[in-house]
Amino acid sequence: MERPQNYRFQQGEKILPFAETEYEARLAGLRDIMADKNIDACILTSMHNVAYYSGFLYCSFGRPYALIVTQSENITLSAGIDAAQPWRRCYGDNIVYTDWQRNNYWEVLKSVIGTGKTVGFEGDHLSISQMSLLNAYLMPRDTLDVAPEAMTQRLKKSPAEIDLIRAGAATADIGGYAIRDAIRIGAREIDVAMAGRDAMELEIARRY
């Protein structure tokens, strides 16, 4: 039986936390950083950077995830356990790697990026063992840590981000008031917590 190293699973419609123009602006900022440092491709591996530049917030389940960014492509790399969700929740393309062979994750990265390139990575996230695999599979001409520049970019909030932050804060206020109103002698902690949660969920449903 043929057991593929990777496949694409595109099911349903894409639903993003922000408009496509927001992700284009974020990626343009990263590509400016890459051009300034002569980086051919970035491998972003942290939850926050994958989510910031693609919209997909992963839960690792013990497996590595990534967002590959070049000057022309942006591709999320995900495990099969998530099925088509990463494609639906990301801006750009998605490739699913399988567990049939060891290190299929790195085989996909190699197939997209190639070898002998200058590769950007997150020095505050990529482990020593994963860095060894990066060097073994991609045989990069050079590697550069882009985590500080990416963090600086994330610090500058766009109008869309500010709107979401304000809405989140207002929703949290509603939950806080519900918790205050639920506190009384003999009230169980779980009931107080659920009062806040229920109020915030109703507000989220109303807003979105």
Average pLDDT of the chain to the nearest whole number: 97
For residues 138-162, average pLDDT: 98
DSSP summary character for residue 108: H
pLDDT value for 165: 97
CA pseudo-torsion sign 15, 18, 24, 30: negative
Categorise residue 200: left if φ over 0, alpha if ψ from -120 to 50, beta otherwise.
Answer: alpha
For residues 157 and 165, the answer to whether their CB atoms sit within 8 Å is yes
Residue 39: band (very low, low, confident or very high) from pLDDT cuts 50, 70, 90? very high
pLDDT value for 2: 83
pLDDT at 1 over 80: no
**What is the rounded CA–CA span in Å between residue 113 and residue 28?**
19
For residues 72-89, average pLDDT: 97
For residues 48-73, average pLDDT: 97
